[in-house]
Amino acid sequence: MIPPGKTLGILGGGQLGRMLAQAAQTLGYRVHVFEPAGPCPAGAVANHEVNANYEDTAALTAFARECAVVTYEFENIPSGPLAVVAPLVPLHPRAEVLHITQNRQREKAWLRAHGIPHARYAEALDGDIAPAVAEVGLPCVVKTADFGYDGKGQMKLADAADVERAAAIFRGRRCVVESWVEFACEVSVIVARSAGGEARAFPVAENIHTHHILDFSIVPARVDAAVARTAGQLALAIADQLGVVGLIAVEMFATTAGEVLVNELAPRPHNSGHWSIDGCETSQFEQHVRAVCGLPLGGVAVREPTVMVNILGDAWFAGDVRREPNWGVILAEPRARLHLYGKAEPRPGRKMGHFTVRAATVEAALARARELKAKL
């Protein structure tokens, strides 16, 4: 066990790192943040912020030696430099987990090798997507193997004209091509796992995306009990087979045929788990700290039906006019909670914060969340 009072190191300085730092400090830990571009949202609340490139091995070594344990808050960290950290300090989740999950081709291959249900796919590792499209058929989705999130680096193909356009766009890039999934809804399960193998799955979240960016997360998810049970079992199995220490978020499709197919993995706190700060016995951020520090895991029962709504930079703009959002809309609602990330520059599509709404029923929470979002 790494007791409170020790230093937790976080690689990455975004909003996930910020909320992780706040949870760690509440438990009594010191927090150091390593982020190439500062000042950053996580650094603003940390005890110490280091601004250096991830390939700066001297800076990374010095950072690691000041920490009792190191974790990371997003996947797009070069996995190579983590070889510098691992011999010096416990690194959770381990570098091999990051290496698999930060690349769609490796991730899909791991799912296939371990018998985890997923959409049919083919690889296009030489930049030529045509053979892969022919193998999986239309409609399909082409995705870059690296650096994809919030819909970036992917394109749905419905006909031959789409294939021709995509061939030009993705030429020279390593890709995977997935068959299109007819899904009833998208769900996710976040699992916390300790080094001793203790694991707890948060309740299934139902996720609604708009323009490929998460818009609403709804807990409990409005799915059949069998779907929820299968989703939880899959997430727990994945965490165990990967040997995760910390959190892993498993995004899945609940299909119209009643199947549950795994879409993507993220070995860190996840946007779809933000509801847990206000709606769960233990937030995902506190749970991650507990897991990587070897503390007993917290309870994961839902306090009350909760809906999380992302606040994007679009809220700062009325047409071409920039103005401050009317935060009073959220703050005047006694069942709502506002969380802003401290980012200086709002941009359309950029995640600037979120709010949650709790109510006696999922339907009431979702209805009120939609009303507040419309007013904001």
Give the pLDDT confidence of 190-228 residue by residue, as tens digits.
Answer: 999 999 999 999 999 999 999 999 999 999 999 999 999
CATH classification code of 183-375: 3.30.470.20
**pLDDT value of position 329:** 97
CA 71 and chain centroid, separation: 14
Say if CB 95 and CB 82 are below 8 A apart: yes
pLDDT band at 264 (very low <50, low <70, confident <90, very high): very high
**pLDDT value of position 79:** 78
What's the rounded mean pLDDT across residues 106-124? 97
- pTM for the structure as a whole: 0.96
Alpha-carbon distance of 376 to 357, in angstroms, equals: 14
pLDDT band at 126 (very low <50, low <70, confident <90, very high): confident
121-125: long-range contacts (C-beta < 8 A, 24 or more apart)?
Answer: 121/176, 121/177, 121/178, 121/179, 122/176, 122/177, 123/175, 123/176, 123/177, 124/170, 124/174, 124/175, 124/176, 124/177, 125/174, 125/175
**pLDDT value of position 150:** 55
* Domain 7-91 matches domain 183-375 at the CATH topology level: no
**pLDDT value of position 151:** 57
Domain extents in the chain: 7-91, 120-179, 183-375
CATH architecture, domain 120-179: 2-Layer Sandwich (3.30)
What's the rounded mean pLDDT across residues 258-264? 96
Residue 269 has pLDDT above 90, yes or no: yes
CATH classification code of 7-91: 3.40.50.20
Chain mean pLDDT for the chain: 95
Alpha-carbon distance of 164 to 181, in angstroms, equals: 21
SS3 for 57-107, per residue? HHHHHHHHHCCCEEEECCCCCCCCCHHHHCCCCCECCCHHHHHHHCEHHHH
**pLDDT value of position 75:** 87
Say if CB 110 and CB 331 are below 8 A apart: no
Cis geometry, peptide bond prior to residue 93 (ω within 30 degrees of 0): yes
